[in-house]
Amino acid sequence: MATFPLEILTPEHQFFAEEVEALTISTTDGELTILKGHAPIIAPLMVGTIKIKQNGTWREAFQSEGFLEVNAQGAHLFVQACEWPEDIDVHRAEAAERRARERMRQQRSLQEYKWSQIALTRAMMRLRITNHKINLD
Ligand code: ATP
């Protein structure tokens, strides 16, 4: 299958830079799959997961907010954080989930509520990708 270069950058490091066969990602308009020769685009990304296909096999990674650019050179992802499931600290994500839920219970500003909601989504996505049971109470 035809491949194209995919680069994933976080503020801290280059998370990934390899040839891939396909990339599936959650944009604010829904799930998008990129194959070689995709038309140039820029799309905002929600907290979610990235699915990468190489040698016929899909891998999934957690991805935080950011944006995707596809141009003639390939696909470029700029995200606040990106982690393979095996690198996710489950206890840290559980603690982040508890903190976010607690902040959402408190009477705070709408802005703080929204930040907590996004933090909760990050924690829940991290736990989901590690196949951890999520408490939906
Ligand atoms: P926390 O409150 O635990 O910092 P967060 O969702 O606010 O969680 P981020 O801002 O998304 O954290 O990420 C900050 C840095 O910490 C990034 O480098 C990210 O990869 C790393 N990180 C955050 N949570 C985890 C985790 N559970 N396991 C591994 N790395 C994590």
Residue 59 is given by DSSP the state: E
Q: Is 122 in the pocket of ligand 1 (CB under 6 A)?
A: yes
For residue 42, with 0-12 CB atoms within 10 Å meaning exposed, 13-18 middle and 19 or more buried, which class applies? exposed
Identify residue 13 by its one-letter amino acid code.
Answer: H
* 53-81 b/e (C-beta count within 10 Å ≥ 16 → b): beeeeeeebbbbbbebebeeebbbbebeb
CA of 112 to the centre of ligand 1 (A): 18
Phi-psi region at 123: left, alpha or beta (left = phi > 0; alpha = psi -120 to 50): alpha
CA of 137 to the centre of ligand 1 (A): 23
pLDDT digits (tens, 9 = 90+) for 81-128: 999 999 999 999 999 999 999 999 997 799 999 999 999 999 999 999
pTM exceeds 0.85: yes
CA of 83 to the centre of ligand 1 (A): 9
Q: Is 98 in the pocket of ligand 1 (CB under 6 A)?
A: no
